[in-house]
Structure 1
């Protein structure tokens, strides 16, 4: 049995990439990755350590995240589960902390679960992969926030050192 599970909700794959990075640090043999959108029948009692990661799109987490939390809130609370958010706003200093992230503040008000540890990581900007509508909208948002607007570019803003620190903080609290 694997003792740690990392659940993730991703749009373009960066949240999954971060989950894979964490799993490698924790040890792939003891860590399982599960897409939150495929976790309807998941038995969380099989895991003693839980991390959930979710990305922001147009200012919101996917509703599946809140459904999962509602279904498993007692277990998430009793096991001291951790949470990380991935968004492009976190590319800016001050917006990359739980206190400085408007998305985390809204999440904490809306969610019946209060995570033990919270990480906020910048995501990736993948213009060529987006639909025409998303490319136009994200370019507009980026222009308003002094971000990259060249739609031929892909830019990864994730600070992997920060992900490492979050994972180390999480593993320091693992139950043995």
Structure 2
């Protein structure tokens, strides 16, 4: 059975949920799920492929993602590794914001990162207003007001396009 390492940097859990969904799609994969923020000394050669998922918060990927890339750059370049980003802007599929080419976050990532993944996905995340603290709730509501999104803070809204996740997962398996 093929082994896969799934690394995640998630704020509210949607990135991790997407990785669980991908894991469930493929019974031929033995997946290990690891929080990128606590990952240390990972030997990529123990895995047939690696998938890294990271979420955007306030327009940025977590700095620990970049530290992880710097520390593991040679392994990232030598193994079958894919990357995906989760953000609320990607909900605007009609504007192409859910593609690597149309995502400002991916363009920024590729400029900042010495690692250039061969396979990149961009998925819409979820709004979990009731789970947020007051500050995050108000900031996210402001951002959603400016971008034409959901502003009812009593709601939880999942924007993730699961069909698109499945298509990406198949590409990942075929790496």
Q: Normalising TM by the smaller chain, what interval?
A: over 0.9
Matched, 1:82 2:88: no
Aligned residues of 2:48 and 2:80 also touching (Cα < 8 A) = no
Shift of 1:92: 0.2
Shift of 1:11: 0.3
Aligned residues of 1:80 and 1:115 also touching (Cα < 8 A) = no
Q: TM-score, normalised by structure 2?
A: 0.95
SS at match of 1:112: coil
RMSD: 1.3
Instruction: Tell me the residue number matched to 1:20.
Output: 20
Instruction: Tell me the residue number matched to 1:102.
Output: 104
Distance in 2 between residues matched to 1:58 and 1:65, nearest whole Å: 15
Instruction: Tell me the residue number matched to 1:144.
Output: 146
Matched, 1:168 2:173: no
| Matched residue count | 173
Instruction: Tell me the residue number matched to 1:154.
Output: 156
Distance in 2 between residues matched to 1:126 and 1:107, nearest whole Å: 25
Aligned residues of 2:45 and 2:79 also touching (Cα < 8 A) = no
User: Cα deviations across residues 3-38 of structure 1 (Å, max 9, x unaligned)?
Assistant: 211100000000000011111113375111111112
Distance in 2 between residues matched to 1:166 and 1:24, nearest whole Å: 14
Q: TM-score, normalised by structure 1?
A: 0.94
Which ranges in structure 1 are unaligned for 5 or more consecutive residues? Answer: none
Which portions of structure 1, spanning 4 or more consecutive aligned residues, are displaced by more than 6 angstroms? none
Change (3 A) 1:146 1:80: same
Aligned residues of 1:23 and 1:33 also touching (Cα < 8 A) = no
Aligned residues of 1:2 and 1:32 also touching (Cα < 8 A) = no
Shift of 1:77: 1.2
Shift of 1:75: 1.0
